[in-house]
Amino acid sequence: MPRSTIPNFRGLAKRIVQDHRTFDPTGSAASGLHRFDGILPDYSAAALNRYVARSRKDLDALARLERTDGLSRAARLELGVLRGMLLSELSEIEDQRLPHSFPPYFLYRLNIVNYLLRNYAPLDRRLRAVAKLQSGVPAFLRDLRQMMDRRLADTFYEIGEMAASGMLDAYARELPDHLRDASPRVRAVVERTNAVATSELKGLVESLTTAYKPRIKREFALGPRKYARMIFAEHLAAIPLDRLTAVGQRDLRANQAAFEETAKKIDPATPAKKVLERMERDHPTADRLIEDTRRMLEEIRTYLIEHDIVTVPSEERAKVIETPRFYRFATAAMNSPGSFERLAKDAFYYVTPVEDSWTPE
């Protein structure tokens, strides 16, 4: 086998990673690679077609290398990671059609939370990145409108409308609070870009509400072939769907049995469903949600340490804060520091507060 195999793989791997970082500058910046700060991706039809074509060529090149016998075990593991990443991206773009069917595919790239919360650089520098990002919002949302399906699945519409409204809230309400501590020159620049970006987002929210909401559809299933490809991309294992279904159903039955058994331990005289309903009523009040969550997390941490279940490597704590509005389809979520972040090591645990529109149930 030629000696060039290993260098060829390392060169290919490096380029694939670089292409991925350029394709997703938002994720790259969030990972701590701040040379990508303020850069919006190009998700136009032409750019996506180019990325798909390049990814398929890269998959072919990885497949050729995989058939050789000169790669170490570590290199083969790395090859599998790269292959899974490319297959997952192709699944999202081609099979799931997320750039067309799922508005947050675009909208999450407008997120400015990390620029406001993470002190990895002086405030003025972070706000300049916000201004750079916002200056690209009109063209970016124009691409979104051109790519978006005329009819959206109801769930995708709801998450999209929430993302657009939440992003608008971050620009219109949260960003101005941070501008008070900026230098006059930077404040003036961001106020200009924010006015334009806010106006663009308002237009999108209105369009989603008036033009897209009346046309929502219920169907969103991928179908068995696309779903199987998605599973393979995520796990790099060809799992027959009937076997996957059988395993899932078996696991469901095991959990149902464990649920019944646990309910009997709690209250042998009460049906399991009633026990669950009673436990569901035991929750923090709306005004105590954040504080009670902080206390609960500390209790969990103490229990893990005292019972020697896991080693906790540091004394740092995740800061419990309200979930940003654009992400409130999740009841709770973690915003961890990026893998390449050198300075801003803060982690944020999002908890979604009670909305006024919610029913007691």
In a domain, 357, yes or no: no
Do residues 15 and 45 both lie within one domain?
yes
User: Of the residues 175, 209, 236, which one is the last residue of a structural domain?
Assistant: 236
Do residues 5 and 145 both lie within one domain?
no
Task: Give CA separation, 203 vs 75, 162, 198, 320, 328, in Å.
Answer: 49, 14, 9, 32, 21
pLDDT in tens, 215-257: 999 888 899 999 999 999 999 999 999 999 999 999 999 999 9
Among 190, 163, 165, 162, residue whose Cα is nearest residue 177: 190
225 and 212 in contact (C-beta within 8 Å)?
no
In a domain, 60, yes or no: yes
Bridge-partner residues for 349, per DSSP?
A: 320, 334
For residues 118 and 194, what is the distance between their CA atoms, to the nearest angstrom? 20
167 and 193 in contact (C-beta within 8 Å)?
no
Do residues 203 and 338 both lie within one domain?
no
What is the pLDDT of the chain when averaged over all its residues? 93
pLDDT in tens, 2-50: 455 667 899 999 999 999 999 999 999 999 999 999 999 999 999 999 9
Model confidence at 71, pLDDT cuts 50, 70, 90, reads confident
In a domain, 11, yes or no: yes
Do residues 50 and 150 both lie within one domain?
no
For residues 241 and 224, what is the distance between their CA atoms, to the nearest angstrom? 8
In a domain, 356, yes or no: no
In a domain, 9, yes or no: yes
* 355's tokens: 């909305």
Residue-range definition of the domain harbouring residue 200 = 107-217
In a domain, 13, yes or no: yes
For residues 32 and 63, what is the distance between their CA atoms, to the nearest angstrom? 31
